[in-house]
Amino acid sequence: MTATFPTAPDTQALEHGHALAPRFDAAGLIAAIATHADTGEVLMFAWMNAEALAATLATGEAHYFSRSRNELWHKGATSGQIQQVVEARIDCDQDAVWLKVRPQGDGGACHTGARSCFYRAIEDGKLVHRP
């Protein structure tokens, strides 16, 4: 699937218009953050390309782009941790996506088995595990 989005004609349209005109970087990617729709907990950060964003909007399930595998990634397709999208937002200059999701399966989001990818805090220059 090849997905395309329009380009905003000017800053006014980009920042205040009604057209979804995401600004992908030079590699064709846009930053995406997923939070738990019910708790607000930050679950993960990932990248999306146009295909991943279009698939997410079309299916209601989060899709991302794996830079390490260089391929579209349907979150949870193998782990069961499918992320049902409750709401999708884009920031003011349309270069970052925020997904409010409800994780399925065991409720986790991280490939390490943790509920959130942000399971460590930085304290005195060291990483400390936090629930």
What pLDDT digit, counting tens, does each position of 103-123 carry?
999 999 998 889 999 999 999
DSSP, collapsed to helix, strand or coil, labels residue 37 as coil
Determine the Cα–Cα distance for residues 28 and 37; give it in Å rounded to an integer: 27
Checking 72-77 for CB contacts under 8 A at 24+ apart, the result is: 73/46, 75/46, 75/109, 76/103, 76/104, 76/105
What is the C-alpha to C-alpha distance for residues 74 and 67, in angstroms, rounded to an integer? 13
36-80 pLDDT, tens digit per residue, is: 999 999 999 999 999 999 999 999 999 999 999 999 999 999 999
CATH architecture of 24-106+114-129: Roll (3.10)
Instruction: Specify the pTM.
Output: 0.93
